[in-house]
Amino acid sequence: MQEYTKEELILQMTSLKRLNKELLLALQEAERLEFEWTKNLGQWFWDFTINEVTFNPLKAETLGYLKGDLPEKVPYHFFTDKIHPDDKEEVMQLMTDHLKGEIPAWRTKYRIQAKDGSWKVYHDFGKVTERNEQGAPLFLKGIVFDVTQEEFERDQLMVKNKNLSNQMKKDALTSLHTRSSVIVELAKHARYSKECNLPLSIMFLKVDKYTEYEELLGVVLSEEILKVIGQIIQSAIQESGHVAGRYRESVFLILLKDIQKEEAYAFADKIRQTVLETLFDVPKHVTISAAISEVNSEETISELINNVSKKLVTAVKNGGNQIVI
């Protein structure tokens, strides 16, 4: 075996360090070219024995830190200290579990604070590549991606979808629930009331002689009546937890939570009186008819609606401006 002098060994070590440095720079440049397309911030290497991290400068530059802002030897906590408080516990737990050998690797997404105080979103992968005989970690490597823009676009899309979903549930004229939406709410509340043994009353409310208003005033002015009544209903149920929707043209469906039909009658009569005292752009007072039923655990939704519908027909046939329970 060839023996080397101390000077020769130092020369070889210096040469190897120079080669490693150039190879690392070449890797980082290759990753930098790829970054423009994939948001790949490059690989990182963590010597666990001395807590020193070697990483692509892009990881720090994206956070606003240039080379002069970094310590000569960067410890791992330089980055982990900047993780959002709401994310840090989960991230550190995943890392700890992997360091103990309890999971094969860690893969996590977290918010990390930039130098200017803003927040980026990083997607990080890491794994121990070398352990000692006792299983303790010696060296780790990983890769990190900047997914800030993707997260922003995803959040924006979720907001748009939520707004669209809400719009689909809302009647354009009255701003109450649509027919399909209020029926879904009825099924949900009926199931809940049965499971919890709580009362639930439903009320159908109809504008008396609405077809005459359509013939006399036309669609636009007659729909203004529905719009105003929708506002009256909305005002009545505000902050009560009750739900209201436009069931069909001039008929409204109101769900009265935790209310028995006697109390529901007083609620309905208050709306009836408010409508009667409201000045509409029509030649005479507008009146409403209403019908109320309390949800029976033995009834289906169809049977319940059919039952209260028959009561509404009775109220209208008896001249309107009244409530049938």
- Do 182 and 317 belong to one domain? yes
State which amino acid sits at residue 26: A
- For the cut 80, the answer to whether the pLDDT of residue 14 exceeds it is no
The overall average pLDDT reported for the chain is: 86
Question: CATH number, domain at 235?
Answer: 3.30.70.270
Residue 117: the pLDDT is: 95
3-state secondary structure of 197: coil
**pLDDT of 116-130, one tens digit each?**
999 999 999 999 989
Contact (CB, 8 A) for 59 and 144: yes
Whole-number pLDDT of residue 325: 92
Sheet of 52-55, strands arranged across? 52-55, 40-47, 137-146, 119-131, 106-113
CA 199 to chain centre: 31
Residue 161 domain flag: no
Same domain flag for 273 and 231: yes
Claim to verify: residue 211 and residue 267 sit in the same structural domain: yes
Q: Are residues 211 and 126 in the same domain?
A: no
Q: Is the pLDDT of residue 92 over 50?
A: yes
Q: With CA atoms as reference, report the closest residue to 106 among 148, 135, 144.
A: 144
Task: Answer yes or no: do 142 and 255 share one domain.
Answer: no
Q: Are residues 34 and 110 in the same domain?
A: yes
Mean pLDDT (whole number) for 9-13: 61
Question: Which amino acid type is present at position 222?
Answer: S
What is the 3-state secondary structure of 216-275? HHHHHHHHHHHHHHHHHHHHHHCCCCCEEEEEECCEEEEEEECCCHHHHHHHHHHHHHHH
Taking only Cα atoms into account, the Rg of the chain, rounded to an integer number of angstroms, comes to 35
CA separation, residue 288 to residues 45, 226, 275, 299, 308 (Å): 75, 11, 7, 27, 15
Domain co-membership, 136 together with 72: yes
pLDDT over 90 at 311, yes or no: yes
CA–CA gap between residue 306 and residue 325 (Å, rounded): 14
Percent of the residues in the chain that have a pLDDT greater than 70, as a whole number: 86
Question: Which of 99, 123, 153 is the endpoint of a domain?
Answer: 153
- How confident is residue 112, by pLDDT bands cut at 50, 70 and 90? very high
Torsional class of 42: left (φ above 0), alpha (ψ -120 to 50), beta (otherwise): left
Domain coverage including residue 55: 6-153
Residues 146 and 15 placed together within one structural domain of the fold: yes
pLDDT at 1 over 70: no
- pLDDT of 45 > 90? The answer is no
Compute the average pLDDT of residues 239-255. 93
Domain limit, last residue, from 121, 153, 185: 153
Q: What is the CATH number of the domain that holds 20?
A: 3.30.450.20
pLDDT at 261: 85
Q: How many domains is the chain built from?
A: 2
162 lies in a domain? no
CB under 8 Å to 260, separation ≥6 — which residues?
Answer: 199, 201, 294
Q: Going by C-beta distance under 8 Å and a sequence separation of 6 or more, which residues neighbour residue 35? A: 41, 42, 58
Residues 75 and 12 occupy one common structural domain: yes
Q: Which of 123, 153, 183 is the last residue of a domain?
A: 153
Residue 278 pLDDT grade (very low, low, confident, very high; cuts 50, 70, 90): very high
pTM beyond cutoff 0.85? no
**Do 82 and 190 fall within a single domain?**
no
Residues 148 and 177 placed together within one structural domain of the fold: no
The Cα 325–Cα 319 span in angstroms is 16
Give a yes or no: residue 158 inside a domain.
no
- In tens, the pLDDT along 16-33 reads 555 465 555 555 555 554
Tell me if 107 is assigned to some domain.
Answer: yes
pLDDT at 164 over 70: no
Confidence of residue 273 (pLDDT cuts 50, 70, 90): very high
Same domain flag for 55 and 191: no
